[in-house]
Amino acid sequence: MIYKKKQVKNKIICTALVAVLLSTGIFPMYSHAEDRNVNDVYSYENVHPETASEEVQNSETSEDNTTVSDENIYKKHDNDAGIASFDFRGTEVAGENNKKSEEDAKLRKYDPRILGYMTDVKDQGKLGICWTFTGNAALESFLKRNGYGDYHLSEEHMRWWGKDGVYDWNIGDEEGSTNETSVGYFTSWLGPKYEKDLPYNGNQTRLEGAKKPANYDSAPLTDIQVLDVVNVARDRESVKSAITKYGAVTSGYYNNPRYVSRDEDSFFCNEALGQNHAIAIVGWDDDYSKDNFDGRAGKPQNNGAWLVKNSWGKYNSENGYLWISYEDKTILSFTDNYSIARVQQEQGQKMYQHEYSLSSMLKDNVVSAANRFNFGKNESLQGVMFATDSGGANYELYFIPEENGALNYAGRMYLKSGKVPFSGYFTVDISDFPLPTGYGALMVKLDDRSNGKKASIGLEKNVADFKMFVSKGQKGETYLLKNGKFEDLNSMEQFAPGNVVIKGITKPLEGGDEITGSDRFDTAVRIASRGWTTSNEVFLVNGSAIADALTATPLAKLKSAPILLTKKDSADKIVMDKIKSLGAKKVTIIGGDNSVSEKVVKQLKAEGLDVERIAGTSRYDTSKKIAENIMYNKKDIEAVAIANGKKGLADAISFSSVAGEKTIPILLSDEKGKVDSPDGLTDLYSVKDSYIIGGEQSVPKSVEKDFTNVTRLSGNDRNDTNAKIIEKFYPNDELDYAFVVKDGNKNQDMLIDGLAVGAYASDVKSPIILSHGRLSELQKEVLKKKKIKNITQVGGGMNSMSVTELLIMKEAQKKSY
């Protein structure tokens, strides 16, 4: 049986019938192919890619080339975005920066077998999974060529990955696939595995009873992880350069006995028939005689041929290699020609991804796409991998935080930028960017307008009449930036289902601690559980009225009492249970009836608890009354602190652990700088120092005259002020704890976790670190000098980024020991 002639642009995917017998059976090299099941050739006859024009449709460019331009571009060209499926722009590879590769590429003959760069030829048997052998040949070639040694990779693992892997694809044993599938396998880091653990079963299809190996999951991965894969342009010089620079180049040709030489060593097809068999191009000979091609299709006009590694065992005098004429019209006729360009040995990293095989390119004048992931606890971002065929385009990478269930483009954090070096899969190394725990997104912006072309981002989506696998894209995974806002790609009919090829490479960090409950009330209970097994007294404050209780920490610490939170009219069961489990006899309420009502008082008394309330007519008066209580319980107060009662809430929280440890009353100044001090406080002989927390815009200089030996602690913002406090009061190189809390940057209510942990931090003589994301430069400068034994996140949120950042510093300290 022979295949029907295919149109020039029809790609025939690798099938089980890698060699088609003529009815005469004239060529014995194919005798072993008789046992292979004959299938209809899978082709792209009916595939019509929705390819957008490569040229930019306008000449708009921005001088600064920033992300702001995205909004206008998408606004004006919403309808310009298009999709190109299995039709990618290759890279014109040169041997630059590698003198040996450049010299080799100019050789008239290059045979890696002689150089010892090749691994053994394998035999795919009766199955049509040549794509697995071709992919492994490319990676094995790269590894041996680049000094990693001999690796013998498992085609059996890749075979079943394409059937029963993460997506439950069903790439049949006789249907074949494209070289994009093996590239997707490698870049997913779900493979490769070793052939010795998962040997090849090429004698039985799944329909005939073949089963996934029992050790498919348990067999170890190799220590090799693929980072970069180059899509190689089809010109001769690019392929030669890729071979000498990287190793083998994946490709395919249209195998048919009609075009095979009588000695089975060479092949020449003078018709553009597409491809039906995947092979790896490994070398060349510019002088390979045209007379060697004596198949019935005739001879090429000129000498010269590619040396390819086949997957039929050692069936000929070339021991399983084949020479294909430069003038053959099927080899390199399509765009799935790839070389592995960079790998790393396993480093304990983790990959986040939504897709596993590139099928298309999404093209637009400027492409800004993001993949949303649920990041684990305390992970640093160490790389971003994406696919594009826009070699030479400008790229920008950003982390996009999620706030209130939506990606916040305005809060984007810059990661890196540069030029895309080649078409294919490209990994940008990131220097330990601290990720927040939970949802966030990685965004890639690509702009190729400087080259007069549209930019592209790789896309896994369904392609008409291409049924080997289906995309599992779901809402909430991939987003496109339009008019400054993210739109879910899987809500767009023209793209869904699909996901862009953007992957995050992270490193989980050990040593982070967390005190986080289901809500703020639970978090405060958990803090109390950490710091106290018993307590005679408990302080109770409104969980949504932080100002009243802002200055309570030094008094709570003085009485060895934890601070718990309540609602205005009732205390939750978990709070009441904690009061009971501590064995408390007394509850001190901070704030008036508008903060904690008499209903709560009755609730407490009903449990047999004594209740005291400390409240003033305002937050300023309440801070005064708390200070009076401190004076009553401790006669020799040595210092006093002042913070702004409106603007300085974060400053007071920042100082609270110091105030608790050293029993320093915190007074609040009003907007005019007036401070209502308890009678006699400033006259106490024991008071040696006064600390003003915040700059002069917060607490005016005029306040200083009323206090003794004033030291002002202030920075450019609340985070820098926090750094100044830590630098001043925690001078030791080692700290037992550091408690990282939200700084209330956007909502002062978020400071409540800092209030709840203040007494505990005071007890263990450790600082509170304020954060709304990453540490400030001053915080980093102060904290990188310190060895912190226990880095603890208090409450969930973006403060987790700072915990991760501190863990990164801790790792760096270990390496410098």
Q: What is the pLDDT of residues 146-192, one digit of tens each?
A: 999 999 999 999 999 998 777 777 888 988 899 999 999 999 999 99
Q: Left if phi > 0, otherwise alpha if psi is -120 to 50, otherwise beta: which for 586?
A: beta
Q: Return d(Cα 222, Cα 148) in angstroms, integer.
A: 12
Phi/psi for 226 (5° steps) reads: -80, 130
Torsion of CA 296, 298, 300, 301, to 10 degrees: 170
Which residues, given as ranges, of the chain have pLDDT below 70?
A: 1-81, 95-102, 105, 467-469, 817
**Contact by Cβ (8 Å): 643, 693:** yes
User: How do strand 787-794 and strand 512-515 relate by DSSP bridges?
Assistant: parallel
What's the pLDDT score for residue 368?
98
What's the pLDDT score for residue 97?
54
One-letter amino acid for residue 480 of the chain: L
Residues 6 or more apart whose CB falls under 8 angstroms from that of 361 comprise 83, 84, 85, 87, 88, 388, 389, 456, 457, 458, 459
Q: Return d(Cα 240, Cα 809) in angstroms, integer.
A: 45
Domains, the chain? 28-43+88-338 (3.90.70.10), 80-86+359-508 (2.60.120), 513-816 (no CATH)
What's the pLDDT score for residue 42?
28
Q: Which of 529, 436, 512 is nearest to 790 (CA)?
A: 512
Q: What is the DSSP letter of 608?
A: T
What's the pLDDT score for residue 81?
67
What's the pLDDT score for residue 24?
27
What's the pLDDT score for residue 67?
35
User: How do strand 321-325 and strand 266-267 relate by DSSP bridges?
Assistant: parallel
What's the pLDDT score for residue 601?
98
What's the pLDDT score for residue 106?
82
Per residue in 75-124, pLDDT (tens digit) is 333 334 688 888 899 999 986 555 666 677 689 999 999 999 999 999 99
**Contact by Cβ (8 Å): 192, 154:** yes
Q: Which of 659, 479, 707 is nearest to 558 (CA)?
A: 659
Distances 100 to 148, 239, 291, 341 between C-alpha atoms, Å? 18, 16, 32, 16
User: How do strand 413-419 and strand 394-403 relate by DSSP bridges?
Assistant: antiparallel
What's the pLDDT score for residue 469?
66
3-state secondary structure of 133: helix
Full-model pTM: 0.88
Q: Return d(Cα 219, Cα 157) in angstroms, integer.
A: 9
For residue 158, count CB atoms less than 10 angstroms from its CB and return exposed for 0-12, middle for 13-18, buried for 19 or more: buried
Q: Where are the alpha helices (DSSP H) in 178-226?
A: 179-187
Q: What is the DSSP letter of 90?
A: P
Q: Return d(Cα 178, Cα 643) in angstroms, integer.
A: 67
Sign of the torsion formed by the C-alpha atoms of 358, 360, 364 and 365: positive
What's the pLDDT score for residue 96?
53
